[in-house]
Amino acid sequence: MPRWLQGFLILAVSGCWGKSLEARMESFSCPKGEEETLFSCETRLIGRDRLLNGTFTPHVDLDESFEVWINTLQFKNGDWVQGNIKLRLKACEFFTKFFGIYFLTMIKDTNIPPVEEMCPFKKGVYYIRNGKMEPENWPTLFYHGLNKFNIDFVRDGKMTGGFRIVLDISEAAR
């Protein structure tokens, strides 16, 4: 069974047992690559709701020559410790089976292409206006409290850019 499918089966099963989540975005950034930066962004969080606004720029087509490494960390006792998700996906799997399902649905005003057109993810400048983390369709696998999502675009074993997202996850008020 492919590794991405194993990870998503765990996410899907855990989503059936538990309560819905809400998330507040605490920070969002895009680190530079190790030797070259092929993906960059200029973003900011706006207002009390911490809405994401900005642009994302893949400087090359993000095709199957890229892997996407996803690693979650949780803030416990003053330190970031390894979370329960550590995945290595091909770029197309990431965009069509992860980003398109769990994140694209939260973005109402963007020029990011629909899921069917994300492979390969074409170079260019993409914008997001008033993006808000709304994890209603997320599984309840994530820890409550501060969670860091490190998403790296890797080619030939070298990180070429990505995302760093810190969310404060809690149980949704009913």
Q: What is the pTM of this model?
A: 0.83
Structurally, how many domains does the chain consist of? 1
Please check the confidence at residue 148 and state whether its pLDDT lies above 60. Answer: yes
Sorting pLDDT into bands at 50, 70 and 90, what band is 34? Answer: very high
Whether the Cβ atoms of residue 149 and residue 165 lie closer than 8 Å to each other: yes
CATH number at residue 154: 2.70.220
Residue with tokens 């965009």: 95
pLDDT value at residue 111: 95
Q: What is the mean pLDDT of residues 74-85?
A: 92
Please check the confidence at residue 99 and state whether its pLDDT lies above 50. Answer: yes
Distances from the Cα of 86 to the Cα of 93, 162, 165, angstroms: 15, 15, 15
What range defines the domain where residue 16 resides?
3-171
DSSP 120: S
Q: Which residues, including other chains, have CB under 8 Å from residue 112's CB and lie 6 or more apart?
A: 56, 104, 126, 128
Cα–Cα distance measured from residue 121 to residue 108, given in angstroms and rounded to the nearest whole number = 19
pLDDT value at residue 12: 47
Higher pLDDT: 125 or 135? It is 125
Cα–Cα distance measured from residue 40 to residue 18, given in angstroms and rounded to the nearest whole number = 36
DSSP 127: E
Q: What is the mean pLDDT of residues 65-73?
A: 95
DSSP H helix total and E strand total for the chain: 3, 9
Cα–Cα distance measured from residue 30 to residue 140, given in angstroms and rounded to the nearest whole number = 26
Helices (H), 16-117: 91-94, 100-102
Sorting pLDDT into bands at 50, 70 and 90, what band is 164? Answer: very high
Please check the confidence at residue 14 and state whether its pLDDT lies above 60. Answer: no
pLDDT value at residue 13: 43
Whether the Cβ atoms of residue 29 and residue 151 lie closer than 8 Å to each other: no
Please check the confidence at residue 117 and state whether its pLDDT lies above 70. Answer: yes
Higher pLDDT: 143 or 37? It is 37
**6 φ, ψ (degrees, to nearest 5):** -60, -45
